[in-house]
Chains A and B, each alone.
Chain A
Amino acid sequence: MAEGIAAPGSPPQSQVSRSSQDQQRFGIAAGAAAAGGLLLAGLWLHAWPRVLLLSAAGCLGFRAFRAQQRGEPLRLWAQRGTNIESEDAISILRTPQELYQSWNDTELLRQIIPYCRGVERSGQRMRFTIERPVTGAVEMESEITQELENRLLAWEAVPGAEIQSAGEVRFEPDPSGRGSIVRLRLATGPSGWLRGFGLSAKQQAHTELRRFKQLMEAGEIATIQGQPHGQRSAMARLERLVPEPLGSDIMPAEYARPRRRGPVGEPLERERAIRPAREAI
């Protein structure tokens, strides 16, 4: 595999620093100074530019602080070959069986993966088309490496694939006896972040799980794309050129899934009465 991506769960490769102590200190000091500058500029500006600059100052300051604490050189982004890995979990009021089956539905996957335009499956191979606004379309091909019915699915990019990623999803019955807990682990190499998703593995996992839950419980993905609004500020119009990475950038207009009706496990057709609020009042 091009960048030596490991499946989630394996320890990240350690990066031994070779830079000299002085260089290291200089890097950290420069980083801290830059963070200070961003902070001042941020305080001076307003609204979103302020939020952006202050967050950048925060990130940079934090990285500089951490590098100083750990005696490592300051790095602005993960190095080649570093796994970016994340795990997230969500509870969904549906049985593990229902969730497992839905996860195997390519149309559903298309809807929950950010910027995904198409999913094809043949045998154990899956092919995803991801179309991001700036970098354009990329194809990702992966292979299912493990399949335990109603419990687990794991996949990994095929050898030599342009974008390295691996993932695993588990469906567990919720200990409360109702619904399930879904755990999603994703790992991508740096190119996965830059070219593939445009989101960190963490954001990616979180977004996919939330959309999955919305489709399975509510029958649609909540969105505000396409609703009316008044005159936006120039800044907001600029921002809007790039669709929101974390909002619902797809519109599942015609595609409504049957909602869960009644307690988990009961037939879907069961009429759900909108609970007539407490009679007590």
Chain B
Amino acid sequence: MKALCWQGKEQVGVETVSDPHIINPHDAVVRITSTAICGSDLHLFDGYIPSMEQGDILGHEFMGEVVEIGSAVRNLAVGDRVVVPFPIACGHCYFCEHELWSLCDNTNPNAWMAEKLFGYSPAGIFGYSHMLGGYAGGQAQYARVPFADIGPIKVPERLSDEQVLFLSDIFPTGYMAAENCDIKPGDTVAVWGCGPVGQFAIKSAFLLGAGRVIAIDRFPERLRLARESARAETINYEEVDDVPGQLALMTGGRGPDACIDAVGMEAHGTSLLARMDAAKQKLMLETGRPNVLREAIRACRKGGVLSVAGVYGGFLDTIPFGAAFNKGLRIATGQCHVQRYLRPLLDRVQRNEIDPSFIITHRLSLDEAPRAYEIFRDKKENCVKVVLDPWAAPKAA
């Protein structure tokens, strides 16, 4: 089959690899019909997540048709059309039973690596480094799905791939980011980052009763999308001196009730601290550029909530933890517990409350994935979200 492989920092390529097959009794093999590139993949592309190896198959947002099932899978049949959540969960450990699916105890074969860094290991994830399982990902024509009786959700034929694909990650991720804010009717929520995760966080904040959402980014097309598709107010951070100051003005000197970081470890910035982060990251002295985290902590109102959906991998410097502590902030973080949201969010799609396909700007073939990574990373061609068809013939150039 064809699969997109990580070949080194800033280098990915489509290779012909062997087809996946059933290895464990709870496996299934899925023929992938649609797969997407995520902001999280950019952290791999840019080389900021450790324990990647040349030849690793990327991708964790995918759906398709079940073509083979293991001997212990009872609730799926060959031919079922499924969306696959990105965290792999066993369904039977303490964490799965408490619906903390992305923290499953039993699905990371390389748990010892994560334990060295984090103390305890989270769940395995498709295509997301050996430290998080080393599982082959879904930017490919087929994928092996372990614990297939727990994660994948069957989707009705009348919904298109594009309407349900994002249940695999970014829709639930944005939703969880908003849910973590504990929104009371009329609350003001600030969202850093108007990428796909940010866009879903904005929509979800309104779905959960927010009165105002203020979205922050620098790309006009992304800010426009936030205004037009979700009626958010926006701040272009390149046009203001200081984002927390601007937020204070907009909220009458109080600060937003909750702040969502939908940017993560590769935040862009021009302040002195941000430049120092960039230099330290190059020297491998720091593993993230946390200037959004810093701004959000400073901007948040007293007793508010900081909800972090953006991914961080290692160590961060000069986090104003004193501000977080003295303002009594509550902090919620983590990879999304996608399995928890699949059914309810699918229902919302079916009731036409939301059509997640609004963020798609590029529909390409798998062969075009290397170029897609670049335009998505550099936000060229007004790119917001790329969906790949693994079976389409490459477009003649």
A220 close to B109 (CB less than 8 A): no
The residue among A214, A219, A222, A229 with the most chain B CB atoms within 10 A of its own CB is A222
A-B interface contact total, Cβ < 8 Å: 147
B144 cross-chain contacts in A, Cβ below 8 A: 227
The residue among A221, A228, A231 with the most chain B CB atoms within 10 A of its own CB is A228
**Contact status of A222 and B146, CB under 8 A, knowing A231-B54, A252-B24:** yes
Q: Does A185 contact B (CB under 8 A)?
A: no
In the bound assembly, the distance between CA atoms of A222 and B56 in angstroms comes to 18
B136 close to A227 (CB less than 8 A): yes
Nearest Cβ distance between residue A185 and chain B, in whole angstroms?
Answer: 19
Q: Does B92 contact A (CB under 8 A)?
A: yes
Q: Which of A15-23, A26-34, A103-111, A271-279 contacts B (4 or more CB under 8 A)?
A: A271-279
B105 close to A281 (CB less than 8 A): no
In the bound assembly, the distance between CA atoms of A161 and B372 in angstroms comes to 61
A254 cross-chain contacts in B, Cβ below 8 A: 25, 71
Determine the main DSSP class of B at the interface with A. Answer: loop
- Of the candidates A210, A220, A228, which one forms a contact with B20 in the assembled complex, judged by CB atoms under 8 Å apart? A228
Nearest Cβ distance between residue A6 and chain B, in whole angstroms?
Answer: 27
- Of the candidates B92, B108, B343, which one forms a contact with A222 in the assembled complex, judged by CB atoms under 8 Å apart? B108
In the bound assembly, the distance between CA atoms of A226 and B23 in angstroms comes to 7
**Contact status of A247 and B106, CB under 8 A, knowing A219-B25, A229-B5, A259-B92:** no
Q: B residues 118-170 with Cβ under 8 Å of A?
A: 124, 133-136, 140, 144, 146-147, 149-150
Q: Which of B11-19, B59-67, B185-193 contacts A (4 or more CB under 8 A)?
A: B11-19
A227 close to B20 (CB less than 8 A): yes
B57 close to A217 (CB less than 8 A): no
B343 close to A276 (CB less than 8 A): yes
Number of A positions contacting B (CB below 8 A): 45
In the bound assembly, the distance between CA atoms of A281 and B342 in angstroms comes to 11
B3 close to A230 (CB less than 8 A): yes
Interface string of A221-254 (1 = CB under 8 A from B): 1111111111111001000000000111001111
Q: Does B370 contact A (CB under 8 A)?
A: no
- Of the candidates B17, B108, B134, B343, which one forms a contact with A228 in the assembled complex, judged by CB atoms under 8 Å apart? B17
- Of the candidates A225, A251, A256, which one forms a contact with B72 in the assembled complex, judged by CB atoms under 8 Å apart? A256
In the bound assembly, the distance between CA atoms of A145 and B21 in angstroms comes to 44
Q: Which of B93-101, B246-254, B327-335 contacts A (4 or more CB under 8 A)?
A: B93-101
B133 cross-chain contacts in A, Cβ below 8 A: 222, 224
Q: Does A170 contact B (CB under 8 A)?
A: no
A260 close to B53 (CB less than 8 A): no
A228 cross-chain contacts in B, Cβ below 8 A: 1, 3, 17-20, 57, 136, 140
Interface string of A182-196 (1 = CB under 8 A from B): 000000000000000
B92 close to A93 (CB less than 8 A): yes
B345 cross-chain contacts in A, Cβ below 8 A: 281
In the bound assembly, the distance between CA atoms of A252 and B181 in angstroms comes to 43
A229 close to B106 (CB less than 8 A): no
B54 cross-chain contacts in A, Cβ below 8 A: 230-233, 236
B109 close to A223 (CB less than 8 A): yes
A217 close to B124 (CB less than 8 A): no
B103 cross-chain contacts in A, Cβ below 8 A: none
Interface residues of A (CB under 8 A from B): 91, 93, 179, 203, 206-207, 210, 213-214, 217-233, 236, 246-248, 251-254, 256, 259-260, 272, 274-279, 281
Interface residues of B (CB under 8 A from A): 1, 3, 5-7, 13, 15, 17-21, 23-26, 53-57, 71-72, 75, 88, 90-94, 97, 99, 105-112, 124, 133-136, 140, 144, 146-147, 149-150, 339-345, 348
